[in-house]
């Protein structure tokens, strides 16, 4: 039964449309950032951009830059944050604002099941929108170096970066869901989520979720996303916010 709810939420035409529009833009931002960074390396070295070498792939400047460049593309992370906020707020407010929430809640599902399905479907959108561009850009722009590339994408460093990316979207999702159930207005929910998650970045405050982006460089120097600070901000805090959202959701009215 819960699987049907998740499928219904994931297949919502409006959310699919938002994803179809946003994911190519996210991929473009990353691709442009990667090409720009490689052009910068060419200027520094005074020759053609360095390429991967099977014998030195793990130590070459290009391999290093493959892991670092996403943290140098702030537009990607800002848009990813906005996308996650929009999808989260749509999931928790659109049915109520459009008046068909009563029909949904009349079905033989518990409020807990509906809440979990909404969170799961939102997480599906957010994770796919974040991980797909990271992998697709690396693969398509280095297709001629696939043996070396796949070894890099299967490395511990890249895995750690995916974990940090998950922390990023999980934090934004938890904040957006909380505002989505607290406020009765969709625009107000999104505006509050935007100020909490994105505005601190423009104030040069390295708070979650953008503090996780800084971790991309740290993992190259032996850092780990599983440190107490990262785990607390990327897992413990979002789970706490989601539990608080659940309490508000279970006690709130359908409309």
pLDDT digits (tens, 9 = 90+) for 150-207: 888 888 999 999 999 999 999 999 999 999 999 988 899 999 999 999 998 988 888 9
- Helix 156-182 vs helix 186-197: crossing angle, to nearest 10: 140
Q: Which of 117, 104, 157 is nearest to 134 (CA)?
A: 157
Count of other CB atoms within 10 angstroms of residue 81: 24
Band of pLDDT at residue 222, cut at 50, 70 and 90: confident
pLDDT digits (tens, 9 = 90+) for 64-101: 778 888 998 999 999 999 999 999 999 998 877 776 66
CA atoms within 13 A on the CB side of 115: 20
Please determine, for residue 63, whether its predicted confidence score (pLDDT) is greater than 80: no
Higher pLDDT, 51 or 225: 225
Which of 51-55, 150-154, 244-248 is predicted most confidently?
244-248
Say what the pLDDT of residue 118 is. 93
Say what the pLDDT of residue 19 is. 96
Higher pLDDT, 240 or 218: 240
């Amino acid at each position: 039964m819960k699987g049907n709810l998740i499928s219904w939420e994931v297949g919502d035409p409006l959310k699919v449309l938002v994803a179809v529009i946003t994911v190519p833009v996210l991929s473009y931002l990353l691709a442009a950032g990667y090409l720009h960074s490689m052009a910068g390396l060419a200027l520094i070295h005074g020759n053609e951009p360095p390429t991967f070498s099977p014998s030195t792939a793990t130590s070459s400047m290009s391999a290093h830059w493959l892991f670092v460049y996403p943290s140098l593309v702030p537009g990607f992370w800002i848009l990813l944050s906005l996308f996650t906020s929009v999808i989260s707020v749509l999931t928790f407010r659109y049915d109520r604002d459009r008046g068909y929430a009563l029909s949904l809640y009349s079905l033989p599902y518990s409020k807990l099941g509906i809440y979990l399905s909404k969170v799961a479907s939102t997480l599906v959108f957010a994770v796919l929108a974040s991980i797909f561009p990271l992998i697709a850009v690396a693969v398509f722009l280095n297709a001629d170096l696939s043996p070396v590339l796949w070894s890099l994408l299967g490395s511990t460093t890249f895995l750690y970066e995916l974990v940090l990316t998950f922390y990023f979207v999980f934090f934004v999702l938890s904040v957006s869901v909380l505002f989505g159930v607290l406020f009765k207005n969709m625009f107000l929910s999104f505006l509050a989520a935007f100020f909490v998650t994105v505005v601190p970045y423009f104030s040069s405050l390295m708070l979650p979720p953008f503090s996780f982006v800084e971790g991309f460089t740290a993992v190259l120097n032996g850092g780990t996303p599983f440190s107490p600070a990262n785990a607390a901000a990327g897992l413990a805090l979002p789970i706490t916010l989601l539990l608080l959202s659940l309490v508000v959701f279970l006690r709130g009215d359908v409309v």
